[in-house]
Amino acid sequence: MLLAESAADLFDTEVTPELLEAADRGEWPEKLWRILDEADYPRLFAEPGVTWADAYPLVEAAGNALLPVPLPEALAASWLLSQAGIEQPGGIVTVIAQPPGWLAENRNGAWYVSGTASGVPWAHAAEHAVVIARASGEPVVALLATAELRIEPGLNAAHEPRDDVTATEAKAVACAPLGGLSTGILYEFGALTRATQMAGALRRILRITAHYAGERTQFGRPIGQFQAISQQLAVLAEESTAATIAAAFAWAEAAEDPETPAIAVAKVRTGQAAGTSAAIAHAVFGAIGITAEHSLHFATRRLWCWRAEYGPERFWAHALGATIVRQGSARLWPGVTVL
Amino acid sequence: MIPVPPKLPPETEALRAEVRAFCAAELAGTTGLDRSDSWMGFDAAFSRKLGARGWIGMTWPERYGGHARSALERYVVLEELLAAGAPVAAHWIADRQSGPLLLRYGTEEQRASMLPQIAAGELTFCIGMSEPEVGSDLSAVRSRSERSPSGGWVLNGAKIWTTFAHRAHYMIGLFRTAGTPADKQRGLSQFLIDLSLPGIEVRRIRDMSGREHFNEVVFRDAQLAAGALVGNEGEGWTQVIAELALERSGPERYLSSFELLRAAIDAAVPDDAYASIELGRLYAELVTLRQMSLGIAAMLERGEDPATAAAIVKDLGVTFEQRIPQVVQDLFGLELLAGGSDLARIQARILQIAPGFSLRGGTREILRSVIARGVQK
């Protein structure tokens, strides 16, 4: 089993501002991915006994380092393939997590898959993609070769690849029943990973913002000594801490129940923290923080995108709220304490 | 800054069920309005029953009437009492901070005489910190305690905003034993004060909701015995900072409006998507705050200093408590809020007491200063 600290150290060493700039321009960080691949990080769940809780430090560190490669997606694929008993291929594997409505059909022993999705992370860079489809109404996990897909490359506002994907009777590499899992499970995993990446990025933002406030001098003293700034740093610390706890809790719960409401809680809470904290960081850094030259935007632009991906706060808050209203107040507290 | 809390040990679940059943039986027949008093609900008989069950002073040594339970077991009891809206005010302050303060800094005589009675739910304490001219700047304390010729102490001055002083048996008060207010943190000491002594006058202060829970306490040559000093003379500031961390670290800092959230959930219409979204946001905050609060309980269990962490959870917690009545105002119109329904009554009360949530136990602005210092260290 890999060590969380060694992953974090590796990310910190490899993900330099220069690397982030290159990724921002559209360059694939081949060397970084090769290092991760050789460490078997993308195939974490291929090892028996690995649970969601084991992946948490890796995803948090990826968020903290703003890792510009689809490691969270690879982990989602690794987990689902291991659940379905499909061997994970080498190379880059992404996930098509969003909409239901993908169909799979078995003809003469081979599986053919059709559907469309937008915003698929790094589809054009990946060799394979994992999707949940329905075959005669029954949910299945399909492993597709991206060579079989039509892919329109796109970017989110943080310049992370988010591609449109169409499969027209694409021949699957493998296909297996989903079992008892929800057909939305990849979307849930996506929400969990984005929540956790946000928590990691918020930890980074707190560190660099507090450091800058102690270093930057105006009116003869560090700006962090002014109450107007220190009060904002306090809110930043509160939000970052809340995000970390919400994300960590969700992984711990998901290790026992992949469909835990703690994932919705984490996406709502970290999304809220992302909005508040990115604004504070930019306020403290002032004009230098909105330049292309400064590295702050690599974090804040990602936060804004991750907040929206795999369901914004409204989506998950609605799911949580509808449940507690339907259940009534008598089940509110007992529900909270069994989470 | 706050550790991810461990899963609660299995033995806490039986305890939780026991407390939950006890509260259900004891609080049968109470209204939502009664329960909305939360930890400001005062019922001496209820506190004695909790004492008899061993749910006060739970973590203290048995020789002082405690029960040598873990901080996490204590946490489970606290959160169940708060979530049920149990009237815990008669023992709350003593259990939370006065008892632990005496345990840490008190003399053997103070511990032996006070702690067993607190654990039995028989003693109510109040906290003498703020003064008429001393609010957020607590180090500017003016009330004085001077040595009397007989070796005891003489108190003069006034404390204010002293919650439940009119019902309390004892106060632990911060007084200046040396120097002047200009000496700030130096020269302060804490005293265990029997409020029935001559020279102590308790004046009730009515709050804007028309209720009386806090007071001004005036000392005019009040005579204390030599043994009333708590801890070391001149080290009151260090002791008070430790006490404030205890005061700020518990689940009462996010559950004060819980009864209102319950009423709002029952008043919401299931297919009202907007209401579900707003209540879902509150639920996400609630679950996160509980984990943060448990994280602090875990810090206390490990003997770590939770000062910055407690300030973080208190500020986020009271912001949550204060947001609930705002959401209720946004969601429900006159039909639900003008009548005599539970929701209407609870909302009217919480609206009026909520501004105090971010004042008691340290103002929002002071807490944020504490947090910012912790972050910039």
Question: Is the Cβ pair A317, B4 closer than 8 Å?
Answer: no
Residues of chain A contacting residue B283, judged by C-beta atoms under 8 Å apart? 265, 317, 320-321, 324
Same domain? A212 vs A139? no
Q: At what angle do helices A227-254 and B364-376 cross, to 10 degrees?
A: 80
Question: For tokens 């303060």, what's the residue?
Answer: B101
Q: What is the DSSP letter of A8?
A: H
| Burial class of residue B336 in the structure, from the number of CB atoms within 10 Å of its CB (0-12 exposed, 13-18 middle, 19+ buried) | middle
Q: Which of residues 47-106 of B touch A (CB under 8 A)?
A: 79, 83
Cα–Cα distance, B340 to B321 (Å, whole number): 23
Q: Does A56 touch chain B (CB under 8 A)?
A: no
Same domain? A172 vs A53? yes
Same domain? A108 vs A126? yes
Q: Which of residues 293-312 of B touch A (CB under 8 A)?
A: 295, 309, 312
pTM: 0.96
Q: Give the residue from A153, A177, A201 where a domain finishes.
A: A177
Domain span at A104 = 4-177
Q: Tokens in use for A236? A: 């930043």
Question: Is the Cβ pair B291, A333 closer than 8 Å?
Answer: no
Q: Which of residues 315-334 of A touch B (CB under 8 A)?
A: 316-322, 324-326, 328-329, 332-333
Same domain? A155 vs A192? no
CATH number for the domain spanning B218: value is 2.40.110.10
Question: Is the Cβ pair A325, B284 closer than 8 Å?
Answer: no
pLDDT of A100 reads 72
Local confidence pLDDT in tens for the 339 residues of chain A: 455 778 899 999 999 999 999 999 999 999 999 999 999 999 999 988 888 888 999 999 999 999 999 999 999 999 999 999 999 999 999 999 976 789 999 999 999 999 999 999 999 999 999 999 999 989 999 999 999 999 999 999 999 999 999 999 999 999 999 988 999 999 999 999 999 999 999 999 999 999 999 999 999 999 999 999 999 999 999 999 999 999 999 999 999 999 999 999 999 999 999 999 999 999 999 999 999 999 999 999 999 999 999 999 999 999 999 999 999 999 999 999 998
Cα–Cα distance, A112 to A117 (Å, whole number): 16
Same domain? A82 vs A50? yes
Neighbours of B105 (CB within 10 A): 21
Same domain? B116 vs B135? no
Question: Is the Cβ pair B291, A324 closer than 8 Å?
Answer: no
Q: Give the residue from B91, B123, B155 where a domain finishes.
A: B123
Cα–Cα distance, B263 to A325 (Å, whole number): 11
* Pairing label, strands A217-218, B212-224: unpaired
Question: Is the Cβ pair B375, A272 closer than 8 Å?
Answer: no
Residue of B nearest to A227 (CA): B369
CATH number for the domain spanning B100: value is 1.10.540.10
CATH number for the domain spanning A103: value is 2.40.110.10
Residues of chain A contacting residue B276, judged by C-beta atoms under 8 Å apart? 317-318, 320-322, 325
Q: What is the DSSP letter of A183?
A: T
pLDDT of A99 reads 65
Cα–Cα distance, A135 to A69 (Å, whole number): 32
Distance from chain centroid for Cα B96: 7
Q: Does B32 touch chain A (CB under 8 A)?
A: no
Q: Which among A297, A306, A265, A293 is positioned nearest to A278, based on CA atoms? A: A297
Question: Is the Cβ pair B277, A318 closer than 8 Å?
Answer: yes
Count of pairs with CB atoms under 8 A, one residue in A, one in B:
148
Q: Provide long-range contacts, Cβ within 8 A and 24+ apart, for B27-33.
A: B27/B84, B27/B85, B27/B86, B30/B85, B31/B342, B31/B345, B32/B85, B32/B259, B32/B262, B32/B263, B32/B342, B32/B343, B32/B345, B32/B346, B33/B342, B33/B345, B33/B346, B33/B349
Q: Give the residue from A123, A145, A177 where a domain finishes.
A: A177
Measure in Å the smallest separation between the Cα of B375 and chain A Cα atoms: 7
Question: Is the Cβ pair A269, B285 closer than 8 Å?
Answer: yes
Domain span at B19 = 11-123
DSSP-derived secondary structure for B119-143: HTT---EEEE--BTTBSS-GGG---
Same domain? A204 vs A106? no
Residue of A nearest to B310 (CA): A238
Question: Is the Cβ pair A332, B262 closer than 8 Å?
Answer: yes
Q: Which of A231, A242, A318 sits opposite B288 (nearest CB)?
A: A242
Residue of B nearest to A317 (CA): B280
pLDDT of A3 reads 58
**Phi, psi dihedral angles at B217 (to 5 degrees):** -120, 120
Residues of chain B contacting residue A212, judged by C-beta atoms under 8 Å apart? none
Residue of B nearest to A229 (CA): B372
Q: What is the pLDDT of residues B293-347, one digit of tens each?
A: 999 999 988 989 899 999 999 999 999 999 999 999 999 987 777 778 889 999 9
Residues of chain A contacting residue B16, judged by C-beta atoms under 8 Å apart? 337
Question: For tokens 């306020």, what's the residue?
Answer: A283
Report if residue B256 sits inside a domain. yes
Question: Is the Cβ pair A237, B7 closer than 8 Å?
Answer: no
Report if residue B2 sits inside a domain. no
* Number of structural domains chain B divides into: 3
Q: Which of A206, A214, A242 sits opposite B316 (nearest CB)?
A: A242
Measure in Å the smallest separation between the Cα of B164 and chain A Cα atoms: 28
Same domain? B201 vs B107? no
CB A195 within 8 A of CB A250: yes
Report if residue B325 sits inside a domain. yes
Q: What is the pLDDT of residues B62-113, one digit of tens each?
A: 999 999 999 999 999 999 999 999 999 999 999 999 999 999 999 999 999 9
Question: Is the Cβ pair A265, B281 closer than 8 Å?
Answer: no
Produce one character per residue of B18-39: b if its CB has 16 or more CB atoms within 10 Å, e if not: ebbebbeebbeeeebbbbbbbb
Q: Tokens in use for B317? A: 């917690």
Question: Is the Cβ pair B280, A234 closer than 8 Å?
Answer: no
Residue A130, H or E segment: strand A128-135
Q: At what angle do helices B273-301 and B307-331 cross, to 10 degrees?
A: 160
Q: What is the pLDDT of residues A73-124, one digit of tens each?
A: 999 999 999 999 999 999 999 999 976 789 999 999 999 999 999 999 999 9
Same domain? B349 vs B370? yes
Q: Which residues of chain B have pLDDT under 50?
A: none
Report if residue B6 sits inside a domain. no
Question: Is the Cβ pair B281, A321 closer than 8 Å?
Answer: yes
CB B217 within 8 A of CB B152: no
Report if residue B84 sits inside a domain. yes
Residue of A nearest to B286 (CA): A336
Q: Give the residue from A177, A194, A215 where a domain finishes.
A: A177
Question: Is the Cβ pair B284, A268 closer than 8 Å?
Answer: yes
**Phi, psi dihedral angles at B206 (to 5 degrees):** -85, 135
Same domain? A331 vs A239? yes
Produce one character per residue of B247-278: b if its CB has 16 or more CB atoms within 10 Å, e if not: bbbbbbbbbbbbbbbbbbbebbeeeeeebbbb
Report if residue B241 sits inside a domain. no
Cα–Cα distance, B366 to A227 (Å, whole number): 10
Interface with chain B: mutation pick from A60, A192, A324, A339, highest number of B CBs within 10 Å: A324
* Number of structural domains chain A divides into: 2
Same domain? A21 vs A156? yes
Residue of B nearest to A264 (CA): B284
